Chains A and B, each alone.
Chain A
Amino acid sequence: MNADGDPRSSLERVFREEAGRLTASLVRLLGDFDLAEEMVADAVAEALTRWPRDGVPERPAAWLLTTARRKAIDRLRRDERYSAKLALLASLPASAEREPDDRLRLMFTCCHPALDRDAQVALTLRAVVGLTTAEIARAFVIPETTLAKRLTRAKQKIVAARIPYRTPEPDELRGRLSEVLQVIYLVFNEGYLTTAGEQAARRELADDAEWLAGMLTRWLPDEPEPLGLLALIELHLARWPGRVDPEGRLVLLADQDRSAWDRGRVERGILSLRRAAALQRVGPYQIEAAIAAVHAEAPSWDETDWPQLLALYELLESVDPSPVVRLNRAIILARVAGPGPALAELDNIAAALDRYYLFHATRAAMLRQLGRSAEARHADQRALEGTTNTEERRLLEERLS
């Protein structure tokens, strides 16, 4: 039995680490996406009832595979249409040999262009990352039933239209690269700042994103944006030890103890960014990584190189003129040119970001600097209404009280 305590948290950790890999291995071995996913889901359900009672087994991954296989055989025996699959199951090896790129291959299947963008992302988060449908639904702020339908339809299409599970050709890889990068970025963001629930952040998701990005850079060593994404993740993870306090509460960048930052990771991040830059094709992930590098290298909040940050945000806006990028640029503009011009810029994007809590939180900070405290309180109130992360609510409530 496993020594380290609570079976439920062990299960969560094992599920995150193993379920996605097991799904990927089974899809490869069985050539059947739906069956593989159901097998893993059955095994996890069994683990949820047994492990809290009997403890976590010593080799959880092997236990999950054995259970998945037994459950699948029961399931297939009940349904004779699938009798051909029984032979396949019998031929499964006792432990699913891990091919290191199984999960990336599965990710490229999930991101097949014949699937809707929403379905691609949901499917990847479910099958590759191992998030539950409830967690994904929360992250997208949609009802769980809607998400479940979306997933079911996508899985049925993969099977019925025979979307192949294979390593894509290099030109197909490049064609799907932006989708795959975006999914990894989403996973990272969900780990870095969890959309809903008690935890402010989920380190295991952020680590997973780092692993996937690293794998992608080894697959496509001549593509700069995977390196940019990896650098971005490394540079943010380097700050992790300073951004969550011992009680698990978020600490703002300005208030963080920079001596706690992981200098080795900062250097790795900067090295990844240099390798990306050497390929001489700039893109949004590289620019975001460069922004993270400026923060990581600043000796203190006050000594941050704001003009360089502003230049980088302007560059980012030129390749990605989204309202969120403009919001971030306005925050830096406030440091360089004062809250007045920044507030004017915020007014330009107010309509697009009216439902985004960070927009209102930023606006509140600028109004407060300008001495317009009544308006600031109103904006903070709007921000509070818009966030579902308990930790962020706490930060905003502190400011309001």
Chain B
Amino acid sequence: MKFVLLLTRGEWQESGSPAEQGEVFGQISEWFGKLRADGTITEAYQLQPPGTATTVVLERGTSTLIDRPLLEAKEAIGGYAVIDVDDLDAALTIARSFPTPDGKIEVRPVVER
């Protein structure tokens, strides 16, 4: 069963020292490497910083553009991963193991057709 993990950026990514950020990124990349290798993660991307985002608003045939991300800065999405596990408990265990000092992770099942 597939779940998407939506990973927020976390305070450390805004205000951590370059040394701390480097160390955390090292651990994160190790985490992704291991879970990709055993097939748990089927797809994952880190996203460019929120400043690069454009939000498209569709409304009754018209569209407007907003020069910022959808979510507020403190919950800006920093990346996502698709995982394939047995059940919610397994998905939550993976999410809890994400090696970041702070941040939030939304765990949501996908519609499988």
A and B are partners in one complex rather than unrelated chains: yes
**Which residues of A does B touch, CB under 8 Å?**
112, 114, 160-164
Chain B, residues 79-105, CB within 8 Å of chain A (1/0): the string is 000000011110010000000000000
Contact B92 A162 (CB under 8 A): no
Contact B89 A164 (CB under 8 A): yes
Interface residue B109 (Cβ < 8 Å from any Cβ of A): yes
Contact A163 B109 (CB under 8 A): no
Name 21 A/B residue pairs within 8 A (Cβ), A-sorted.
A112-B88, A114-B88, A114-B92, A160-B109, A161-B3, A161-B88, A161-B107, A161-B108, A161-B109, A162-B1, A162-B86, A162-B87, A162-B88, A162-B109, A163-B87, A163-B88, A163-B89, A164-B86, A164-B87, A164-B88, A164-B89
Chain A contacts of B86 at CB under 8 A? 162, 164
Chain B contacts of A161 at CB under 8 A? 3, 88, 107-109
C-alpha spacing A266/B92, complex, angstroms: 44
Residue of A nearest to B111 (CB): A160
A-side binding surface: helix, strand, loop or mixed? Answer: loop
Interface size class of B (residues with CB under 8 A): 10 to 19
Chain A contacts of B88 at CB under 8 A? 112, 114, 161-164
Shortest C-beta distance, A239 to chain B (Å), equals: 42
Chain B contacts of A112 at CB under 8 A? 88
Chain A contacts of B3 at CB under 8 A? 161
Chain B contacts of A163 at CB under 8 A? 87-89
Shortest C-beta distance, B7 to chain A (Å), equals: 18
**Which residues of B does A touch, CB under 8 Å?**
1, 3, 86-89, 92, 107-109
4 closest A-B pairs by CB? A164-B87, A162-B87, A161-B88, A161-B109
CB contacts between A and B, total, < 8 Å: 21
C-alpha spacing A138/B86, complex, angstroms: 38
C-alpha spacing A164/B1, complex, angstroms: 12
Q: Among the interface residues A112, A114, A162, which one has the most CB atoms of the partner chain B within 10 A? A: A162
Chain B contacts of A162 at CB under 8 A? 1, 86-88, 109
Chain A contacts of B1 at CB under 8 A? 162
C-alpha spacing A162/B88, complex, angstroms: 6
C-alpha spacing A114/B90, complex, angstroms: 12
Chain B contacts of A114 at CB under 8 A? 88, 92
Chain B contacts of A164 at CB under 8 A? 86-89
Residue of B nearest to A162 (CB): B87
C-alpha spacing A263/B108, complex, angstroms: 54
Residue of A nearest to B108 (CB): A161
C-alpha spacing A98/B92, complex, angstroms: 31
C-alpha spacing A208/B1, complex, angstroms: 36
C-alpha spacing A164/B89, complex, angstroms: 7
C-alpha spacing A160/B111, complex, angstroms: 9
Chain B contacts of A160 at CB under 8 A? 109
C-alpha spacing A161/B87, complex, angstroms: 7
Shortest C-beta distance, B64 to chain A (Å), equals: 33
C-alpha spacing A162/B3, complex, angstroms: 10
Residue of B nearest to A164 (CB): B87
Residue of B nearest to A160 (CB): B109
C-alpha spacing A161/B107, complex, angstroms: 9
C-alpha spacing A229/B108, complex, angstroms: 36
Shortest C-beta distance, B108 to chain A (Å), equals: 8
Residue of B nearest to A169 (CB): B89
C-alpha spacing A114/B87, complex, angstroms: 12
Residue of B nearest to A158 (CB): B88
C-alpha spacing A160/B51, complex, angstroms: 34
C-alpha spacing A240/B108, complex, angstroms: 48
C-alpha spacing A161/B108, complex, angstroms: 7
Shortest C-beta distance, B62 to chain A (Å), equals: 34
Q: Among the interface residues A112, A161, A163, which one has the most CB atoms of the partner chain B within 10 A? A: A161
